[in-house]
Each structure stands twice: as structure tokens, then as C-alpha cells.
């Protein structure tokens, strides 16, 4: 019976499969097989033994049910795998797990798991970046009101907003490239990291195993691969989740009834509320923001795992069983949900225009201030003057242009048509050019 929502609600089948018990067992067997091949290559066991171990290192022969049966008796999960594999190999079983400690196998298998999971994350990030670049290009000239502190500010373009997000995703892709060097790492160094159990061929055995599996060998380790690597991995997943949380929060706010500039995709049969038939709630963006909280919270135990005692203790093991699959699977759900939202995002140009002019020119006070500076008014004096006129416009409930026209001093400085300084379409600076630079940089990576 499923208990955790990741078993039945969250994450793609592809990502969940990476963390299924049978897949985990197969990766442990893959490492045991690679170790046997390395031992054969350096002459510690026969090639026939290595070939038999390799052939039997499969869930076809080593059944998960048998491993669990052994574990019930011996109370050691990895040793249960070793015994089940040795049992399947017959006489060649004597060479299974030769010289290795449990975490030589577990941590190396973890790296194989990370490799598979990160490839899915990387693909989703690349696809999300393309969606954002497409939105940036499509809306590069769509002028909207900018907002700071929740208040109307000077104009922006929607293209610039999407371009900004696309570069954040590109930075995550750069981080991921660097992260792989430090996280896709295995070890074969024995009980406390000395390689004593592998003798003088320890380095060669470790290098052969890692080359065989497509991983980097740890330069030095204790009984475990050091957990600063795992903490960095969880921090990376949390950082991606934080960005998607930001995107989701922005979409949710822009969907507010009194703003209503964008809408999530909404199906013909979709229900927004069980009691209010009119509702179209931002449920996907809210899901992104909610699940991001869980992914971010998993960073704390990952950081705690860095400080294991002496050459290691077992406090990392139990929480890693929870936080690693949970973080990957929930991030997978978040990424795929945000892709869906952005692919189907609906923008409402008329409402965007309405909001742009909602303050009746107050959001253009900076532009007028700079026009005054160009006409010889000291900057601080121009700022004071526009702050005074903005206050008057608010108090009277009129537009900024109206109080400007009432001022003889302002008419003298700005002429009889001050409205030309209050056109938000003409005050977007290099926004379009910035988007074009992002598009050019983004598509050549």
C-alpha cells in the first residue's frame, strides 16, 4: 500500500524508476560486478570467476525478495545483497565483494543513481530554458508596469521578465556541469579508506572500477565518500526549486483578480473550487511553491550529514534514504509542472495595458524628473518637485499630467505637451536589446 505521495502522485515514472528498490539493487550488483572484473584484471581472481559474477549480477538471478529474506535474518542490507549474489554464483561466489566494505558498493551505486537522476533534471532544465526563451522572444516588446515592494514602478517588458528567468535556468545548467565533477564520484578504499584490504593494487582496482562504471574515483576517502559532496547535490536541487518557487509565486501574483495579467492553462472540464463554480485557481503554480518548500527543507539534514564521527557513523544512512529520492522526485514534479504552466501561459494584453496606466502617469515620474534634469534643474531638486506633484495628483485624484499642466513652472520647463514625457511605451530603455542579447547567448549556450 502506497504511503508517501511520491509513490502515487508526484514525479514522472522515469524519475521514480531511478529510485525503485529493484533499480537500486541492480546498481549495487553492477558495482559488485565491476569490482570482480577489476580483481580479475589485476590477477586477484580468475577471469572465469569474474565472468560468472558479472553474468549473475542481475536481478534476474538475484531476486529482491531473496535479498530481503536474508536481511531479515542478518540485519544488514548490503551484506544481504552480497550473500544473495554469492549464492547465485556457486563456486565463484567466494570472490564476491573481495576487499570491499559496504559503502564502497553503496556510495559508488549512489553515484550511478545520481548520474541517471541528474540527466533527467538536466534535460528538463534545458527544455524549460527553451520555453522561457520562446516567451522572451514572443513578448520582448510587450510593455507592462514594473513592480517593486508590491507597488507600481517604472515600465518593464514581459520579454525582459522571461529573459531574466531563462538566464537563471542557464546558471543552474552551468552549476550542474560543475557539480557532476564532484558528485559523480565513487570509491573502492575499504573499511577506513586506507585500501589495506586491496593491498598494493588498491589504486589500480579503484581506478578500474570507476572507469568501468563511467565515474570519477575519489582521490581520498574514509569509509564513505565525503558528505560535503551530497550536501552540495541537495543544495543544488534546492536552489533549482527556489528559482521555480520564484517563478510560481510571480505567476500566482499576476493571476490575482485585481491584477489579472496572466493565466495558467485551464482545461475545459477543470474544476477550480468545490463550492465556487467561477474559480480558476493557480493550482499548478501553488503546487510548485508548496513542493519547493520540502526540497529546500531537505538541505538541513544533508548539511548535518557532513559531520560524521571519525571515519564514519551511520547517522547519514537513514535520512539519506528519505531525503535523496524525495528531493529528486519532487524536483522532477516541480520542473515538469512549471514547463506545463509556461507552455500554456496566457497573457492578457488589454489588462496589462490597463494596469500600466492604472496610476494615471505616476509610474512615469522618474522620466519627467530626468527630463527636468536635462533642462538644467538639479537632480535632487527635480526629485523633490516630482515627489510634491505626485502627492498632489494622489490627493486630488487626478493624473500626473493634470497637475503638471496646472503648474506654470512646469509648463515653462516642459512646454504645452508634457504628456510626451509620460508615455510608458517610450520609457523601456534597453529592455528589447537586453532580451535580444539573452536570446543570442541562450541559443548558443
* CATH, residue 384: 1.10.40.30
pLDDT for res 5: 84
Count of structural domains, the chain: 2
Domain annotation covers residue 21:
no
Domain annotation covers residue 377:
yes
Please, what is the angle between helix 283-297 and helix 315-343, to 10°? 160
Count CA atoms within 13 Å of residue 40 on its CB side: 18
Spatial CB neighbours of 354, under 8 Å, sequence gap ≥ 6: none
Same domain, 254 and 400: no
pLDDT for res 77: 95
Cell for 86? Answer: 554469492
Query: At which of 283, 317, 347 does a domain end?
Result: 347
pLDDT for res 444: 61
Interatomic CA distance for residues 184 and 232, integer angstroms: 12
Mean pLDDT within 321-339: 97
Same domain, 127 and 189: yes
Mean pLDDT within 17-36: 97
Please determine, for residue 135, whether its predicted confidence score (pLDDT) is greater than 70. yes
Mean pLDDT within 36-53: 97
Phi, then psi, of 146 in degrees rounded to 5 = -80, 160
pLDDT for res 276: 78
pLDDT for res 385: 94
Query: At which of 347, 366, 383 does a domain end?
Result: 347
Query: At which of 317, 347, 377 does a domain end?
Result: 347
Same domain, 375 and 342: no
Same domain, 372 and 392: yes
Same domain, 219 and 343: yes
pLDDT for res 443: 67
Residue-range definition of the domain harbouring residue 412 = 357-443
Domain annotation covers residue 290:
yes
Report residue 269's pLDDT band, with 50, 70 and 90 as the boundaries.
confident
Catalytic residue numbers read 149, 273
DSSP state of 428: -
DSSP state of 376: T
Same domain, 334 and 187: yes
DSSP codes, 22-41? HHHHHHHHHHHHHHHHHHHH
Mean pLDDT within 235-261: 97
10 Å Cβ neighbour count for 149? Answer: 6
Please determine, for residue 361, whether its predicted confidence score (pLDDT) is greater than 90. yes
Can you give the pTM of this predicted structure?
A: 0.94
Mean pLDDT within 264-271: 77
332 neighbors 12 (Cβ within 8 angstroms): yes
Domain annotation covers residue 16:
no
Please determine, for residue 121, whether its predicted confidence score (pLDDT) is greater than 90. yes
Report in angstroms the alpha-carbon separations of 3 from 6, 64, 246. 9, 20, 29
Amino acid at each position: 500500500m502506497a504511503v508517501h505521495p511520491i509513490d502515487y502522485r508526484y514525479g514522472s515514472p522515469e524519475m521514480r524508476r531511478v529510485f525503485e528498490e529493484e533499480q537500486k539493487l541492480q546498481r549495487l550488483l553492477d558495482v559488485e560486478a565491476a569490482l570482480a572484473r577489476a580483481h580479475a584484471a589485476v590477477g586477484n581472481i580468475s577471469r572465469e570467476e569474474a565472468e560468472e559474477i558479472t553474468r549473475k549480477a542481475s536481478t534476474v538471478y538475484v531476486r529482491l525478495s531473496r535479498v530481503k529474506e536474508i536481511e531479515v535474518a542478518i540485519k544488514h542490507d548490503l551484506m544481504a545483497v552480497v550473500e544473495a549474489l554469492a549464492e547465485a554464483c556457486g563456486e565463484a561466489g567466494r570472490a564476491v565483494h573481495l576487499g570491499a566494505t559496504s559503502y564502497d558498493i553503496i556510495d559508488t551505486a549512489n553515484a550511478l543513481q545520481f548520474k541517471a537522476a541528474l540527466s533527467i533534471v538536466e534535460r528538463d532544465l534545458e527544455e524549460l530554458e527553451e520555453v522561457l526563451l520562446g516567451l522572451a522572444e514572443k513578448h520582448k516588446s510587450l510593455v507592462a508596469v514594473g513592480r517593486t515592494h508590491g507597488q507600481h514602478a517604472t515600465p518593464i517588458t514581459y520579454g525582459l521578465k522571461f529573459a531574466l528567468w531563462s538566464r537563471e535556468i542557464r546558471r543552474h545548467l552551468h552549476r550542474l556541469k560543475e557539480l557532476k565533477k564532484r558528485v559523480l564520484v565513487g570509491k573502492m578504499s575499504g573499511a577506513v579508506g586506507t585500501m589495506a584490504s586491496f593491498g598494493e593494487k588498491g589504486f589500480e582496482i579503484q581506478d578500474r572500477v570507476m572507469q568501468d562504471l563511467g565515474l570519477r574515483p575519489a582521490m581520498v576517502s574514509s569509509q564513505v565518500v565525503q558528505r560535503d559532496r551530497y550536501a552540495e547535490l541537495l543544495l543544488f536541487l534546492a536552489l533549482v526549486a527556489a528559482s521555480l518557487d520564484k517563478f510560481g509565486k510571480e505567476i500566482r501574483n499576476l493571476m490575482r483578480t485585481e491584477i489579472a495579467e496572466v493565466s495558467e492553462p485551464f482545461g475545459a472540464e477543470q474544476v477550480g473550487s468545490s463550492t465556487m463554480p467561477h474559480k480558476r485557481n493557480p493550482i499548478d503554480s501553488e503546487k510548485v511553491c508548496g513542493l519547493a518548500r520540502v526540497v529546500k527543507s531537505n538541505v538541513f539534514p544533508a548539511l548535518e550529514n557532513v559531520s560524521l564521527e571519525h571515519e564514519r557513523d551511520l547517522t547519514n544512512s537513514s535520512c539519506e534514504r528519505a531525503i535523496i529520492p524525495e528531493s529528486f522526485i519532487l524536483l522532477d514534479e516541480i520542473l515538469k509542472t512549471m514547463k506545463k504552466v509556461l507552455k500554456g501561459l496566457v497573457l492578457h494584453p488589454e489588462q496589462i495595458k490597463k494596469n500600466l496606466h492604472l496610476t494615471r502617469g505616476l509610474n512615469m515620474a522618474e522620466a519627467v524628473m530626468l527630463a527636468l534634469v536635462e533642462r538644467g534643474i538639479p537632480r535632487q531638486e527635480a526629485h523633490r518637485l516630482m515627489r510634491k506633484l505626485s502627492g498632489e495628483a494622489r490627493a486630488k485624484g487626478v493624473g500626473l499630467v493634470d497637475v503638471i499642466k496646472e503648474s506654470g513652472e512646469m509648463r515653462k520647463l516642459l512646454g504645452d505637451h508634457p504628456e510626451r514625457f509620460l508615455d510608458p511605451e517610450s520609457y523601456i530603455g534597453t529592455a528589447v536589446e537586453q532580451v535580444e542579447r539573452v536570446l543570442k547567448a541562450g541559443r548558443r549556450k
